[in-house]
Structure 1
């Protein structure tokens, strides 16, 4: 469904050029919940933003449903982006708009008729359990409610892909758990492919089917979490999955006994 082929991205800084992403190739299947993990500066968010070309790669190609986005004219690219919702760490809600108006925003940009917008907004607020907050303003909402509004906004255009950039890092542990459960339900009930960038191992363990580990702009390892006996090979993956490896070892000792 999503295929990144040797994508790379440089940024100019006061100290010269910085290679944020270096020749990364990934395959993400339809229906996956796919994680990208690594420490700050590893290139995770830049890579995520290249999937919908919010960051245009300097090198390589980005295919979504067989279409190379890097070859599209601006008008066609904007149309393709409607199939990819995005949620962010800090919600990015418009403070002068109500909840329903925030959810409606992407539909307005897409040129959806008013009656259809209203219907779709109501559906999305029902999905995220915030129909009773339709006329509230973001300032009156909790962090978890704000993120659910952001999710509703991302769902409004009926995307097949949801890109999540550190969606829980601004939330407390209890709220994080509820948001992850909600994303899991979206994946299972609506069949939406979800890609999550995070530095939190608990997020990866809670929801992801596969995870790519990033370091210095490169994917150093991709792990299938469906295999309970996975064996990380890279040093950073072994460090990140240290607890899981210790648990595997303990379970092995118990099984031998």
Structure 2
């Protein structure tokens, strides 16, 4: 479904070149909920944004559904991006549009006829439990409601892939659960492949079946979370997993 091969991305800064991502390779299979985790500045969001080429890598290739996106001209790339929805950390809603029109926006950009837009918008709002907020404006919504509007907007174009950049970092812990539940339902019911960036291990453990740990722009370890025993080797992965491993051992001891 998604193959990143030796991705590299460097930014020019006042302090000199910043190597945000270095030789990162990753394979995401259809139906995965794949987590990218690491501390701030690890390169997670930059790597995520290379999947739909919002950040074009300086090195390496991006393949989606067997097609090399990095080789496409801009016009063709725009068409392929319609199959890749994206959810941002800070919602990125249009404040001068109501909920209905926010969800409509990508369909308008794609020149979908108005008559075809309505059932799709209504279906997406129903999917995220916001049918009753169609006429509300973002200023009147809670953080969790705003993020669910953003999810509905990302689903409007019938994507095969959903990229989520820290989707729960701007909401409270209680709302985090509802956002993650919505993403799980989307994955389960629609078969949409999800790649999610987070710095929170509880998010990864809640919904991901696979995870890659990033540090200083590199992928240092990858795990299949469906395996019963996970033994992280790198210091960063050991730190991120330590609470979960300790809890698992404690539970095993209690049943021994």
Q: Does 1:151 align with 2:163?
A: no
Cα distance in 2, alignment partners of residues 85 and 215 from structure 1:
26
**2:90 matched residue in structure 1:** 90
Aligned length: 256
Q: Does 1:217 align with 2:217?
A: yes
Q: Structure 2 length normalisation: TM-score?
A: 0.98
Deviations 1:165-192 (A, max 9, x none): 0000000010000100110000000000
**1:226 matched residue in structure 2:** 226
Cα distance in 1, alignment partners of residues 62 and 241 from structure 2:
29
Question: Does 117-126 or 200-209 show the bigger shift?
Answer: 117-126
Query: What is the RMSD computed on CA atoms of the aligned residues?
Result: 0.9
**1:113 matched residue in structure 2:** 113
Deviations 1:36-88 (A, max 9, x none): 00000000000000000000000000000001000001111000000000001
Cα distance in 2, alignment partners of residues 247 and 143 from structure 1:
31
Cα distance in 1, alignment partners of residues 146 and 117 from structure 2:
20
**2:128 matched residue in structure 1:** 128
Cα distance in 2, alignment partners of residues 97 and 228 from structure 1:
47
Deviation at 1:252, TM superposition (A): 4.2
Cα distance in 2, alignment partners of residues 117 and 14 from structure 1:
45
**1:194 matched residue in structure 2:** 194
**2:238 matched residue in structure 1:** 238
Aligned counterparts, 1:1-257, within 5 A? 1-254=1-254, 257=256
Q: Post-superposition, which runs of at least 4 consecutive aligned residues in structure 1 deviate over 6 A? A: none
Cα distance in 1, alignment partners of residues 200 and 113 from structure 2:
40
Secondary structure of the 1:90 match is: coil
Deviation at 1:120, TM superposition (A): 1.0
Identify unmatched segments of 5+ residues in structure 1. Answer: none
Secondary structure of the 2:90 match is: coil
Secondary structure of the 2:220 match is: strand
Secondary structure of the 1:241 match is: helix
Identify unmatched segments of 5+ residues in structure 2. Answer: none
Deviations 1:102-147 (A, max 9, x none): 0000001111011111121111111111111111111111111100
Cα distance in 2, alignment partners of residues 243 and 98 from structure 1:
42
